Amino acid sequence: MITRNDIEIFVTAGGKSTRMGQDKGLMIIDGKPMLLHLTDMLLQNHLTFTLIANFHAYQKFGFRMVNDLIPEKGPMGALHTAFHYANKEYVLLLGCDTPFFSAEALFRLVDRVMPNGVTVASVMTKINPLHAIYHQALQPQVSTCIAKEKLKMQEFILQSPHSIVVMDDLAEKHPEGFINMNEPNDVAI
């Protein structure tokens, strides 16, 4: 049986933020940086994590932090980095741009983790690669995808052994938990 102790959490904050116009993880939402909403939820639930970030400004928070091994490869590069640094069998990737992702949603993913594949959250039939748990067995495929510049995470997930965890009920109760903040208008929720 897979337990929470078999899963290592990585929070991505290394994106270019081109649509946002500034580093989105540091944007202030409800009085604090976007990143801290998600990390506070993790800490309140006694969950440890590693931040994947390429900007020195994140060091001020004091979190364990690593840089992307291969910069500018998006979430696929973040997964590659997470696999490299992980000490556990499974990697849970979360994006700082969904700051209100809930513990309830996270634990639903963890409780339904699929052996040797991807367990991914879905809202209204759309999967989110940064609300997903990946087994280390996928590491060679991720390396191949990066080498071939095949960086579309949804395609990678759907072509891998995967299990989709429907979160429509949680999205209905707490829609803010699944809002992906990529543009300035998204921040004004």
Check which CATH number belongs to the domain holding 19 and give it.
3.90.550.10
Return all residues near 41 (Cβ < 8 A) that are at least 6 apart.
101, 102, 103, 106
Q: What is the pLDDT of residues 11-54, one digit of tens each?
A: 999 655 444 446 789 999 999 999 999 999 999 999 999 999 98
Q: What is the DSSP letter of 14?
A: -
Q: What is the pLDDT of residues 143-152, one digit of tens each?
A: 999 999 999 9
H or E, element range at 111 = helix 103-111
β-pairing, 7-12 vs 90-95, is parallel
pTM summary value: 0.92
DSSP H stretches of helix in 32-188: 34-44, 74-85, 103-111, 139-147, 153-159, 168-173, 184-187
Structural domain including 145 reads 4-187
172: region left, alpha or beta (phi > 0 left; psi from -120 to 50 alpha):
alpha
> Looking at residues 71-93, what average pLDDT do you find?
96
- Domain tally, the chain: 1
Q: What pLDDT sits at residue 181?
A: 83
Q: What pLDDT sits at residue 23?
A: 79
Residue type at 27?
M
**Whether 132 contacts 121, CB under 8 Å:** yes
